[in-house]
Amino acid sequence: MTGPRNLVAEPLTREAFAPFGEVIDARGADSFPINQGRTERFHALAAVELLGEAEGLRGILSIFRGQPLEPLEITLMERHPLGSQAFVAINDGAFLAVVAPPGEFDESAVRVFLVRGDQGVNYRAGTWHAPLLPLKPDSDYLVVDRQGQGNNCDEVTLDTPIKPVMPTG
- Which residues sit at the interface with ligand UGC, rule CB under 6 A? 78, 85, 129, 131-132
* Contact present, 47 and 59 (Cβ < 8 Å): no
**What whole-number distance in Å separates Cα of residue 160 and Cα of residue 146?**
30
Which of Ni ion, ligand UGC, none is residue 146 near (CB under 5 to 8 Å by kind)? none
CB 62, min distance to ligand UGC, A = 8
Terminal-to-terminal C-alpha distance of the chain? 32
CB 143, min distance to ligand UGC, A = 7
Sheet of strand 85-89: strand arrangement: 21-24, 120-123, 85-89, 139-147, 58-66
CB 73, min distance to ligand UGC, A = 16
3-state secondary structure of 110: coil
Pick out residues in 57-86 that bind Ni ion (CB under 5 A).
Answer: 85
Q: Residue 46 corresponds to which amino acid?
A: A
Nearer to Ni ion, 80 or 114 (CB): 80
DSSP letter for 82, please: T
Nearer to ligand UGC, 25 or 80 (CB): 80
CB 41, min distance to Ni ion, A = 28
Select the residue whose beta carbon is closest to Ni ion and give its number: 85
